[in-house]
Structure formats: structure tokens, C-alpha cells
Amino acid sequence: MNFRGKSSLLNGLLDEAAVLPTSGSRGCTAAVVELVYNSELLKEPDTTVAEKLPVVPAYKGTVEFITLDDWTKELKVLVEECSTQEKHIYSIPPIDDTSEAYAAWQKIEQVYGKGAMGAYCRQPTESVLHRLASNPRVQSLLSSSDPTREYNAILVDAGDVVPGSDEAKELLKPFNQMKGRTRNKKKKWATTFRQKINSYVYRKGNGDEPQTWPLIRKVTLEGPWHVLSTGAVLVDLPGVRDANAARAKVAEKYLQNCNQIAIVAPIKRAVDDGTAKELLGEQFKRRLLMDGQYSNVFFICTQTDDLEPTETMRDHSDVSDKLQEEEDLEGQVEEFKQQYQEAVADLTELREEAEDDEIDEDQLVNLKAVIATAKSSFKQSTRDLAKWTEDNTARIQHDQEECDALQKQLKPLCAIVRNEYSKQCLQEDFRSGLKDLYKKDDGDDEDGGDVDVNAALPEDFNMDVFGISANDYLKLMKIKPSRDGPPSCFSNAEDTQIPLLRAFVHTTTAKHCQDSVKTFVEQTNDLVEQMKLLCTDSNSDVSTGSARRMKQLHKSSVQSLTNQIKPIATQFKQVIDQKVSNSLASSLKTGARKGSQSAISTVVSWGSKSRRSKSERAPDKNGLYYSTYNAVARRDGVYTSKSAGAVDFNQELCDPMEKEFSTEWQSVLDSTIRRLLAESERKILDLSTSACQSFAQSLRINGVAADRLGNMLNTANRSATTALKTSFTQMRSIARDAQRELSRELLPAVQEKMKSSYTAVKSAQGGPGVFERMKGAMVSNSQRAVNEMFDSATDKLMRGIKALINRLERLLESTATIVGKSLGMSSRFVGMIILIRRP
């Protein structure tokens, strides 16, 4: 998510000062940025093929551009946005920076240089589009010279290191464990790398010359980053509502396939004006729910060093004692200061009274007494002030120093308290946001009680929340230069929670790697055991006929196992079919009905004079201005406006239907399938063990030695267990990926059906009343589309669900063959040994 502090957070995780641009940097690409560990540094060099040791770059970058076709499609819309109804470019550049024409004009000039559009004022739209699309520089950037690559890419690198060398290994250590010389080299290489990639990814100069960053599809950066050393890949997703469909598709694909999703927001926004449920947005939460990703979200609050202790004290009594102590000391200092000022004022007054010589003769006697008294008071006050100053100067200085020390202790303490408070709030809001998804339009949430909620989230689940101060961390670690000043809050790097977040990345990655490594080790061990079985001598004296009968015994065992597994697969299908029929199918049909019923009112609301804004949108406040309405229609229903924010007509039409079926979708196609696959796995593993034992018993009856059978049984059972677990892991992946793909079919289906409406809007006759004609065209064409739009989408979803269930049933039935292969492999080894040893 695009909040301030995200790039600083990533730099902190990478132990880099500024490999990624921070909020104070120049404008940069809105493309996906993928951060990867540079594993080439670990490879041992081949010293036999060259006299000189080969080197690899410490930092590598791949900048991938969109295709020329993608840009031409977007450019057509942009140029039309800058044109009159008579299809000529505006006579002067747009000056309203909130208008769609201004945004389009600016984007074209970003790509082609400042003043590029000004040179085409009043010229025909088609002619200008042709000239811009034929620009040699743009064509060169967006055309791949490699016929095997769809997208053109530019490579940049920095730093030469011999892979596998001591320097390479040193470079891959955490920053605080590197030698000083290696740290300096790394900083120098990182600076060079940033400078090289700047010209492509970030704004050049003052922005007047042609820029490349608006044309970028994806950026991949590889470096010696210890946080990624366990295999993690960090992906910075700017959003999925990009005006360029190619970039939006890339971001959506990453979101669909990622293992963990981090929501990043400044801590003040996360707590003060947004709960976790508001920051995520309802549509995004539904997507997480249907993807089975709700428990894979964690939250990162940035800029935790940005606080005032007194503000924190208002909300947190935990620190009130410390703060009160500081305020008492400050009060004492102020009191002493006031006493001093009053004493000085008294002395001044006494001097004035003592030095006043304009006195009447009649008052002389009385005045002498007054002067004598004043002089006495003056002298006494002077002595008192001198003594008070002597007695209290050290105390004042001590109190002030103690105040300063307490202030230094108090600020990080307040930050830590606020972090914990924010964590609790966000965790509560996150679970509350999930419960909100189970509420239907009529407010009836009885069907979505704790049982359903706990299906999406374990009962003991608490979302991980981190309060990060990347800026203070980089300063404490001396990664940032001293000219940036001292840390503003923390004095201990651990309190910035960057080390804690880095440990979370390593732990999470290790969990995902563990199963793969375990499977690999088990498969390797099975192979070794099978080879040992082949190589071990056997003194068994079994006839050749008995050995041949092993094949028939094996065939019978597999058939018996198949007959036992088939009912498990059948039951799996029956339960899922029943769940689909009883809940999901009815929810889809109800959702389709609600979608159809509300579609036209939604379409009409887009043209309402009661307009939406970035911060407010409601059914009765959903209208758009003419220029925004037109811009959305030109882009097939998807556009981000400065005044109205992100607009997606297609998603707004989908919302009533998705809201109706999303919870049942997660319950049936995520939770139920996972549960039933787990139950089936346990049953089939038990059957596999029994089949191995039964097969061994049959072999013993046919004369195979008991010791040989023991080895074979153990080997076959381990091999079958490993293969079955791998197969079920694949089934879970297939089910997860298939249902995620299916759940995403509604939106493009609606968009496809609405394209005729968008085309009709764009084709509306210009002149006075054009906006009314555009709205009329949208409504009339949409009425024809919605009659079948949701029903056809429902039918397509049901066909996809049925195909998935049938596929899983076939995969369950095929597990008998998997076990049979393990039995066959072991029995063949025994048979081969018997035949070889036969005299």
C-alpha cells in the first residue's frame, strides 16, 4: 500500500541507506519492485576454465518495460483525454491540476518531454497519436530485441566480487557483523547502483526531459541482503488499479500467489484515523477471505519515532508517572526562575526609590525613614538573592539535567507503549473486520457466527503487528551518514523493531522451506534404502516361479488398495457436492439476483449530481463529474482520479454478488476442502501401511525370508508415505490455485459484458447535453447487459467448481497407484536379488 515510510522500511530491512527511493526523493515508478537475494555470490568459481578468477556483480537490477502495444492502447486514451469533442488537441494546456485532461497531458509530457504536447495544440487527434506512437525512443524502449522475450529489459549492476570468496561471504553477513572495509565497499557499490538505475526508475533531473519510469512494467533488484538469505523475496506492490492494464495485471498476479501480505501504514494513520478494517477496504478483505489469505496478513506501523510524549500520556496512564515526575521538575525550575525575576524586580524598585531626589521638603523627614528602610531592604534583598543564587544554582542545573535525561528515557518509553497499544487495537480491528464480512445487506449476521469466522482464522490467531522506526535504525547502525542527524527517539536498535521484523521474515521463510526440504530428504533417503536393499546379499532359496508370482501378488495388492481408496474419494466428492449444493450454489444464485437487482441503480448513481470524493462514497453519494465519468468509460471502467480517488465501475457492480457469496466460498472451497483432504490423507496413509504389511505377508507365504521382508516392508512403507504426503501437498496447492483463479473470473466477466456500455458512452454525440447523452447510453446498454451478466458468470463459476471437485476426486483415486509404485519398486529389488542368487 502506498503510504509514507514504506521505502524507508525496506531500506532498513536491507541494511541500506537508500537503495530504494524514500519520500524525500524524486518521483519514481509505480511498477512492482521485486527484491531478491543475490545468490550468485555464494557460487564457487570454476578455476579450471580461466586463468583469472571470474567475478559477479554485488548488485544487479533488471528493468522490464511494458510492450509497445500496451503503451499504444494507453496512449490512445491519454491523447483523447487531451482532445476537444471535435477530435483536436486542446489549444492550450489544461491548468486545473485536478482534471483528467491535466493528468493525461502531464503523463504524456513525462514520457516525451516537457512541451511535447504543447507543440501539437489544435492538431488532429489521430495525427498526434500516430506521431507519438511512432517516436523512435519509445519504440526502442518498448520493443524486445530478443525474440524469446515478450518484454524489453535493461540490465544494470555494480560491484565486482569473486563468487564464493571470503569477500563475498563477508558481504553476505548482517551489516553489524561486517568488517569496516567491507561496509565501506558495500556503501560505495550501493550508491553506484542507485545512480545507474536512477535514470530508468526515478525521475531524471527536474523532470523536464523525457522520462522512462512511466513505461516500466516491473523492476527486479538483487543484492547482498542478509534478510533475504533464507529464500524470502520481498515485493513492493504499489496497487492493482494502475491505469496501465499490464502493470495492474502484474500486481494482481503477485497478490494472488504470495505467501504473506504486509500492510504498511504510518502509525498515526493506523491508530488515529484508521482501524485495520478501514485501511484494508472491504473489497480487499473479501479477496483475502476467498483466497484463504486472511491469516497470512501482518501489519507494519512505520515512523514510530514520530511522537510527542505528552500526546502519548493523554491516552496511556502507563507513562503518566514518568511524565508527572518530569513536569514536577520543570515546575520547580520555573518556580526558581520566577523567584529570581521577582527578586531582580524588587531590587530595581528599591534602587529607583533610593535614588529618587524629587521630594518635597515637607516630606524629607518621612522620606529619610523610608530611604533608610529601602536601603536596608535593598541590602538585605541583595544578600538574600546572592545567597539564594549560591544555594540553588547547582540544584537548578541538576534539575534541568535530570529533566533532559528523563525526556530521553520517556520518548522511547512512550513509543514502546504506543506500539503495544496500536498492536492490540489493530489485532482487534482485524478480527472485527472479518466478522463484518459475514454480515449480509440486511444486517443479519446470525449465519456468520464464530464457527464460520474461525474457519477463516484459527481461534487463537492474532495478527502479527510490528512498530518500526527505520530511520532511527539506520542512524543507530551508522548506515545513514552523520549529516542526517542523530536518532530522534530510540537509542537501542532492538527497540526500532527492524531486527524483530527481520527475524520474522527468516522464521516465516523457514516454515515454507521446511516442508520442501523435508520431502527432498525423505525421497533421497528412500532411494538410498532401495539401493541398499538391492545391494544387500540374500541367502533366500526361492524358486524362479515364486519370484514371478510376486508380480501377480503386487497387482492384487494394488487392486485391493484401489478398491479401498475409491470410497474415500467418492465420499470426498459427495461431501463437497453437498456443501456446494446446500450453501455455495444458493449463495451464488442469491448474489447474482442481488447483483442484477442493484446493477441499474448503481449505473444511474455514477451520473448523480451528488458526487463522491476521495474520502467519501455511499450509494446516495456516488456521482462523478463529466470529465471523470468520461475518463472512467474510456478505460473500460477503471480509473484513479485526483478528485474522486480510485474508481472501478466493474467492481462496484460485482460488490453485491461477491458480498453475498464470499463467506460461503471460503467455507466450502477453502476450509472444507482443506479439512477433507487432511482427513483423506490420514485414512489413505493408514491404508497404505496396511497394504504394505499385507503384501509382505503374501511374500512370506511364498518363501521370501523374514529379514528380507522386514527391510522391504520398512523401505516400501517409508517410500509410500513420502510419496503420498507429496501428492496431498500438490492437491492442496491445486485446490488453492484453482479456487483463487475461479474467484477472480467474476470481475473480468462483468467488465467484458460492460464494454459495449463503455463504447456507447465514448460514441455519444458531442455538443450541448453530451453528458446526459453519455449517461443515457450507459444506462440503456447496461440494462441489456445485466439481464444475463451475473447468471452467465454464475454458470461459469459452477462449471469451474465442478471441474475442480472432479479433478480432486481423480487425484485421490490415483493415490493407490502411488503406493503401488513404492511396493513394486521394493518387490522388484527383492525379486532381482532372488533371481540373481538362485544357483
Which H/E stretch holds residue 221?
strand 216-223
Average pLDDT on 105-114 reads: 93
**Residue 478 neighbours by CB distance under 10 Å:** 11
**Residue 39 neighbours by CB distance under 10 Å:** 13
d(C-alpha 38, C-alpha 222), whole Å? 5
According to the per-residue pLDDT averaged within each range, which of 113-127, 260-274, 453-467, 471-485 is highest?
113-127
pLDDT score, position 660? 93
Pairing of strands 261-266, 297-302: parallel
What is the percent of the chain with per-residue pLDDT over 90, rounded to a whole number?
41
Q: Which residue has the higher pLDDT, 732 or 199?
A: 732
Q: How does residue 556 score in pLDDT terms, banded at 50, 70 and 90?
A: confident
d(C-alpha 388, C-alpha 376), whole Å? 18
Average pLDDT on 685-690 reads: 89
Q: Which residues pair with 298 in a beta bridge?
A: 262
Choice among 263-272, 502-511, 559-568, 682-691 with the minimum mean pLDDT:
263-272
395 pLDDT above the threshold of 50: yes
19: helix, strand or coil:
coil
Q: Which among 26, 41, 30, 33 is positioned nearest to 62, based on CA atoms?
A: 33
Quick: pLDDT tens for 433-460.
787 787 765 544 444 444 455 556 666 7
pLDDT score, position 533? 52
475 touches 196 (CB < 8 A): no
Q: Which among 74, 160, 247 is positioned nearest to 171, based on CA atoms?
A: 160
Choice among 351-365, 421-435, 558-572, 672-686 with the minimum mean pLDDT:
351-365
Q: Which residue has the higher pLDDT, 155 or 363?
A: 155
* Secondary structure (DSSP) of 440-461: -TTS--GGGSHHHHHHHS-TT-
Report the predicted TM-score, pTM, of the whole model to 2 decimal places: 0.79
Average pLDDT, the chain: 80
Q: How does residue 277 score in pLDDT terms, banded at 50, 70 and 90?
A: low
Buried/exposed code over 753-791 (b: 16+ C-beta within 10 A; e: otherwise): bbeebbebbeebeeeeeeeebbbebbbebbeebbeebbb
